[in-house]
Structure 1
Amino acid sequence: MKVYTTDRSNDRSEPERIKVGVADYAVAHAGSTLVTSGLGSCVGIALADVEAGVAGLAHAMLPSASAELKREEAADDVHPDVWKYVDTAVPELVRELADAGAERARIEGRLAGGSAMFEFESSAGAVGERNVAAAREALDASGIPLIDSDIGGDYGRSLSFDVEAGELSIRRAHGETHVI
């Protein structure tokens, strides 16, 4: 039986893998890899200041938070659902990166996901398309340049974000891997 542990006191050569769940995020420093899976219509928002060795990854489900949630956030407490919505996750992730030592002017963004996983589409458009549009808008509003993206399609994705290199590796459900 093989035993897995997060105790790396004896082995510093292997990068730390930090899992990001749905409606979740993580911020890490060089030597770490941020990973998430199950991106369908959700978007993975990867932000990095490579020079500072700080990066973050959010896995957002829906384009926009309700006005009530936004009012609660204004009270200076981070509402647990902030990571569920693209329009609240992006500015919060930028703030978290700055708190971890990133220089706001050097943060660059990458996006993945936003697939059309189902035939259902509302009058406002498919959720994946709306998530991508909301992410682009939120990045622009935060002054974060979008370096590259792997969006759309009708397939799922898994992400691996190398904090040190600032490279986002995207494994598509049909087996192809793409690095941006």
Structure 2
Amino acid sequence: MRILGIDPGIAIVGFGFVDKQGSRVVPVQYGCIQTESTTAPEVRLLQVFEATEKLLDQYKPDAVAVEKLFFNRNVTTAFSVGQARGVVILAAAKRGLQIAEYTPMQVKQAIVGYGKAEKKQVQEMVKLFLKLKAIPKPDDVADALAVAICHAHSSGLQDQLNGAWTR
């Protein structure tokens, strides 16, 4: 099963593709989609959408796991991140892909075993799980890989509990 993990944002969208091979999780490709702050918001969203479509077409995941938006003190930032999440989810839904959403606490629990783990702990565990030489940069990329790993470890159980949860 190939999984795309997404850490959404308007300036940087972290992405990470992993293959679940039995109990192993193997990295396929990871990186980020970046948009310029001087670009109009609607153009930035279009750039995120189009880049996501290209990634989906190139790497053909079976499922997309997206980090859920948690309440942000900066409402403007929360809205723009929510919009970016929306265009990523739209690109996946347009292709009929399975979509799962995880809170930051669920991701930390799955990766570190503690829902209030520090960001550095999550990054180190991503490096270890995927046998990488270094922690992926920027942080959004490591976070996206963590979301993908979380789904790889959770998807079978979730499917059994909830039935098929495609959208």
Which category describes the TM-score, using the shorter chain as reference length? 0.3 to 0.5
TM-score (norm 1): 0.38
Larger gyration radius, structure 1 or structure 2: 1
Structure holding more helix per residue: 2
Q: Which has the higher contact order (CA 8 A, sep 6+)?
A: 2
Structure holding more strand per residue: 1
TM-score (norm 2): 0.41
